[in-house]
């Protein structure tokens, strides 16, 4: 029996209009090694918003009279980075979980099981996928608990692995109160790795403290830079992961690392410290230009992007299996995700709800459950 269901699509036309709509799609029968999953929980991560809304101006939102599609305009200067997707209707939603409702003959044992996957096109009623690409969730875990078991858990573990592989003793992270940042804090506590958490409000300081964090800095405090330098010097942090991306925070962190390193130098060197400092930009929460002020920074530093798929390639299948095993073992503790609200697929297209999840605010992650409507 072929399954039919809705799928949330995003399309940008050549004039810079972005349209979100629900399309009715037929899911073909699974072949011998495939399963069909009824999607029951799929998070809205910032990377999903990147595909759903691209660089569109959310305030330009218009709803059609039937309420079945939303359109936005993209300011002309922002079309360049999305030139490669113009005219293509793209299915959104990176990861999620649900119940296997049909399977080919080699995958029959999956029927009825709750599985999780990182597959794309997850904002759908049904998702056809090869059985080898799903993970059967641990006994007792729900689809909602398993919906975010790939992107943020693997990335936060990836930061710790990267720091270890490159010989860094301590990590700096911003923005720390994100879903990912909370996982990183729990990992660093368990693995005894000093972590300097950068947040931007007192409420976020309290959130991190409640997780056991001891090094928390509010970037809006007057003494932020001085305290950052002191914390870095205390734990000899030489690597930072920054998802804010735009603006000058990355530069501020590099300078604080340089000043902390210079404190420990016995002899002055006009080329700066002999300690290598690394800034990884792994997100684009602030879409403005990245500003790095080189004056006084010396020459012993690097700034580049960090992305999960190339990292997973680098550590190979054994490495990825090791991460996956820890995630499954600690799914409801270290890697638990909190959602403010569960919405249906149709609600994802309601203007007020879209404006709320498009804010990407700390502790306000949304979960979509297409099975609810
Ligand atoms: N490179 C990779 O492979 C990779 C993999 C996974 C995730 N990521 C990135 O990791 C980041 C966090 O993801 P998540 O799912 O954990 O996000 P999340 O739970 O939705 O949290 C988003 C956080 O970003 C903060 N924020 C939003 N805009 C900001 C801005 N302009 N300046 C400073 N802080 C801002 C929010 O704080 P406020 O409440 O103060 O706004 C909140 O703490 C995202 O950028 C995502 O794209 C990258």
- pLDDT of 68 reads 81
Tokens 């029959």 -> residue: 108
Contact 300, 276 (CB under 8 A): yes
Q: What whole-number distance in Å separates Cα of residue 335 and Cα of residue 183? A: 6
CATH code given to domain 154-310: 3.40.50.720
Closest ligand 1 atom number to CA of residue 365: 20
Q: What whole-number distance in Å separates Cα of residue 317 and Cα of residue 301? A: 30
Q: What whole-number distance in Å separates Cα of residue 236 and Cα of residue 42? A: 39
| pLDDT of the chain, 373 residues: tens digit per residue | 789 999 999 999 999 999 999 999 999 999 999 999 999 999 999 999 999 999 999 999 999 878 789 999 999 888 998 999 999 999 999 999 999 999 999 999 999 999 999 999 999 999 999 999 999 999 999 999 999 999 999 999 999 999 999 999 999 999 999 999 999 999 999 999 999 999 999 999 999 999 999 999 999 999 999 999 999 999 999 999 999 999 999 999 999 999 999 998 888 888 899 999 999 999 999 989 999 999 999 999 999 999 999 999 999 999 999 999 999 999 999 999 999 999 999 999 999 999 999 998 877 899 999 999 8
Looking at 3.30.230.10, 3.90.180.10, 3.40.50.670, 3.40.190.10, the CATH number of the domain 3-148+337-372 comes to 3.90.180.10
Ligand 1 in contact with 47 (CB < 6 A)? yes
| Alpha carbon of 362 to ligand 1 centroid (Å) | 8
Taking the CB of residue 338, how many other CB atoms lie within 10 A of it?
A: 11
Q: What whole-number distance in Å separates Cα of residue 168 and Cα of residue 239? A: 6
Contact 217, 227 (CB under 8 A): yes
Domain chopping of the chain, boundaries: 3-148+337-372, 154-310
- pLDDT of 264 reads 83
Are β-strands 135-136 and 114-118 bridged in parallel, bridged antiparallel, or unpaired?
antiparallel
Tokens of 208: 């991190």
| Alpha carbon of 283 to ligand 1 centroid (Å) | 7
For the whole model, what pTM was predicted?
0.94
Ligand 1 in contact with 183 (CB < 6 A)? no
- pLDDT of 277 reads 98
Q: What whole-number distance in Å separates Cα of residue 194 and Cα of residue 172? A: 9
Ligand 1 in contact with 358 (CB < 6 A)? no
Ligand 1 in contact with 86 (CB < 6 A)? no
Task: Tell me the C-alpha to C-alpha distance, in Å, between residue 300 and each of 66, 100, 238, 265, 303.
Answer: 58, 52, 11, 14, 11
Asked if omega into 43 is within 30° of 0 (cis), the reply is no
Ligand 1 in contact with 244 (CB < 6 A)? yes
Ligand 1 in contact with 356 (CB < 6 A)? no
Closest ligand 1 atom number to CA of residue 180: 16
Contact 367, 189 (CB under 8 A): no
Cα-Cα-Cα-Cα torsion 19, 22, 24, 26, nearest 10 degrees, comes to: 90
- pLDDT of 336 reads 94
Task: Supply the DSSP string of 39-96, one letter for each residue.
Answer: EEEEE--HHHHHHHTTT-EEEEEEE-TTSSEEEEE--GGGSGGGGGGTT-EEE---EE
Element (H, E) at 174: strand 171-174
Closest residue by CA, ligand 1 atom 23: 178
Element (H, E) at 163: helix 151-165
């Amino acid at each position: 029996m072929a399954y039919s269901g809705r799928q949330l699509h995003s399309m940008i036309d050549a004039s810079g209009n972005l349209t979100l709509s629900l399309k009715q799609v037929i899911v073909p029968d699974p072949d011998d090694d495939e399963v069909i999953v009824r999607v029951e929980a799929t998070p809205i991560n910032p990377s999903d918003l990147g595909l759903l809304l691209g660089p569109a101006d959310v305030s330009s939102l218009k709803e059609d009279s039937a309420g079945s599609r939303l359109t936005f305009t993209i300011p002309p200067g922002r079309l360049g980075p999305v030139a490669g997707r113009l005219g293509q209707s793209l299915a959104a939603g990176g990861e999620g979980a649900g119940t296997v409702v049909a399977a080919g003959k080699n995958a029959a044992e999956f029927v009825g099981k709750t599985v999780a996957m990182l597959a794309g096109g997850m904002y759908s009623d049904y998702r056809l996928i090869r059985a080898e690409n799903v993970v059967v969730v641990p006994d007792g875990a729900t689809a909602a608990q398993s919906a975010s078991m790939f992107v943020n858990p693997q990335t936060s573990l990836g930061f710790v692995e990267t720091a270890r592989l490159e010989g860094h003793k301590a990590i700096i992270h911003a923005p720390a109160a994100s879903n990912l940042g909370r996982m990183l804090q729990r990992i660093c506590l368990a693995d005894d790795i000093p972590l300097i958490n950068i947040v931007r409000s007192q409420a976020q300081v309290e959130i991190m403290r409640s997780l056991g964090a001891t090094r928390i800095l509010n970037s809006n405090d007057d003494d932020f830079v001085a305290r950052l330098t002191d914390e870095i010097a205390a734990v000899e942090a030489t690597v930072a992961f920054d998802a804010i991306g735009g603006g000058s925070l990355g530069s501020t962190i590099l300078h604080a690392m340089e000043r902390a390193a210079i404190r420990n130098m016995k002899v002055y060197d006009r080329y700066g410290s002999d300690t290598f400092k690394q800034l990884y930009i792994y997100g684009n929460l602030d879409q403005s230009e990245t500003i790095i002020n080189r004056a006084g920074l010396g020459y012993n530093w690097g700034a580049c992007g960090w992305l999960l798929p190339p990292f997973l390639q680098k550590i190979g299948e054994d490495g990825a299996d090791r991460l996956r095993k820890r995630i499954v073992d600690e799914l409801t503790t270290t890697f638990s995700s909190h959602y403010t609200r569960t919405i249906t697929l149709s609600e994802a297209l309601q203007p007020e709800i879209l404006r709320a999840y498009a804010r990407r605010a700390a502790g306000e992650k949304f979960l979509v459950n297409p099975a609810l409507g």
